């Protein structure tokens, strides 16, 4: 692929599953980010490299998507392969076939599986029975593919990752979990500000804190938005009611009063802080329109990087 990394790193990643960011080491994630940056530059130069010619990715969707579907489907095509969209209504897993049976059957047809679903246990069971790489496109617990693109974006706009402080304001959901893990592994300080009852899972927080300590960094969880934003280089938020939580919308709007990222809150961060959001966004709820559409926002650069990060991931695991 034109990189200077050892072949052993390519061999190390080939065939691996990607269920959470903790599945990969710091050097492995660093390699993926370097590969993503390389593939992005090649695309901008109009240079086409297709290391996955003849390879097929099966994409199982039990949750709808814009960025995940398009980044993987366009990405596998650009890499020379083929992507198959498989909704739960299209395959037998949606009619009660055991996950292990589906995994074994698909392993005979495909070179990789990406699944976007509700339960992390489903992804885990799929990976345990499959003999090809399984990529977690999103579950209620984790969104590791998004955070790969986020780390790429932070590296681009801040010139590096080590020592960067990321403040996440909002629901302690799958995004908060993956940002804590990814940030901890790659040497960021991460502070999650969420109201009581909506904070990240304690077990995942403790795992991230242990990983952060290995790099001399910190992962913190608080209800104090001001403390989280102090000295923050990156300010991140997500919707207050994720897919499947729509019935909780009004209750959550009350719980999250004071957690909207607006210009007043953004001023508590570093003067050159950037704003990030995994999208889709609800302007006027978790973020003010003049922030997400303002000069500090890098949300569309972040969204584009889903393509490059996913291409790197597929190249490494399926190549």
17, 111, 116, 252: the catalytic one is: 116
Alpha-carbon dihedral of residues 217, 219, 222, 224, nearest 10 degrees? 40
Can 191 be counted among the known catalytic residues?
A: no
Helix%, strand%, coil% for the chain, nearest 5: 45, 15, 40
Marked catalytic residue, from 17, 78, 111, 146: 146
Number of alpha helices (DSSP H) and beta strands (DSSP E) in the chain: 13, 9
Strand 234-237 and strand 112-116: the pairing is: unpaired
> Do the beta carbons of residue 224 and residue 195 sit within 8 Å?
no
Per-residue pLDDT for 5 more than 60?
Answer: no
pLDDT tens digits along 184-212: 999 999 999 999 999 999 999 999 999 99
Catalytic residue selected from 111, 189, 233, 238: 238
Question: What's residue 1's pLDDT?
Answer: 54
Q: What pLDDT shows up at residue 312?
A: 98
pLDDT computed for residue 10 by the predictor:
86
Q: How far, in Å, CA of 301 to CA of 157, rounded? A: 10
pLDDT single digits (tens) 140-185: 999 999 999 999 999 999 999 999 999 999 999 999 999 999 999 9
β-pairing, 56-61 vs 112-116, is parallel
Q: Is the pLDDT of residue 3 over 60?
A: no
Is 171 annotated as catalytic? no
User: Does the annotation count 272 as an active-site position?
Assistant: no
Check the annotation: does 242 bind a ligand: yes
Distance from first CA to last CA of the chain, Å, rounded? Answer: 11
Cα–Cα dist 135/310, whole Å:
10
143 included as an active-site residue:
yes
Rounded CA gap, 288 and 262, in Å? 5
| Mean pLDDT computed over every residue of the chain | 95
């Amino acid at each position: 692929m034109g990189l200077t990394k050892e072949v052993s790193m390519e061999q190390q990643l080939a065939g691996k599953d990607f269920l959470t960011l903790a599945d990969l080491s710091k050097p492995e994630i660093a390699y993926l980010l370097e590969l993503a940056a390389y593939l992005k530059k090649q695309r901008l130069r109009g240079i086409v490299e297709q290391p996955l010619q003849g390879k097929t990715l099966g994409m199982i969707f039990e949750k709808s998507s814009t960025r995940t579907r398009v980044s993987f489907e366009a990405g596998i095509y650009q890499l020379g392969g083929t992507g198959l969209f498989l909704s739960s209504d299209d395959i037998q897993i949606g009619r009660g076939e055991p996950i292990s049976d589906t995994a074994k059957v698909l392993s005979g047809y495909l070179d990789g599986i990406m699944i976007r679903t509700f339960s992390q246990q489903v992804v885990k069971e799929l990976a345990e029975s499959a003999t090809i790489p399984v990529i977690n496109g999103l579950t209620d617990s984790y969104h590791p593919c998004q955070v790969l693109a986020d780390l790429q974006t932070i590296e681009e706009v801040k010139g590096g990752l080590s020592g960067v402080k990321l403040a996440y304001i909002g629901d302690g959901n799958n995004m908060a979990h993956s940002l804590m893990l990814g940030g901890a592994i790659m040497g960021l300080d991460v502070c999650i500000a969420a109201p009581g009852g909506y904070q990240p899972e304690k077990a995942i927080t403790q795992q991230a804190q242990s990983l952060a300590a290995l790099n001399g960094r910190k992962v913190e969880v608080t209800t104090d938005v001001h403390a989280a934003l102090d000295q923050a280089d990156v300010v991140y938020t997500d919707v207050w009611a994720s897919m499947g939580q729509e019935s909780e919308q009004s209750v959550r709007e009350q719980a999250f009063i004071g957690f909207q990222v607006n210009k007043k809150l953004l001023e508590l961060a570093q003067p050159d802080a950037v704003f990030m959001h995994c999208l889709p966004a609800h302007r006027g709820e978790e973020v003010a329109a003049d922030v997400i559409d303002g000069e500090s926002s890098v949300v569309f650069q972040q969204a584009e990087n889903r393509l490059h990060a996913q291409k790197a991931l597929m190249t490494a695991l399926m190549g």
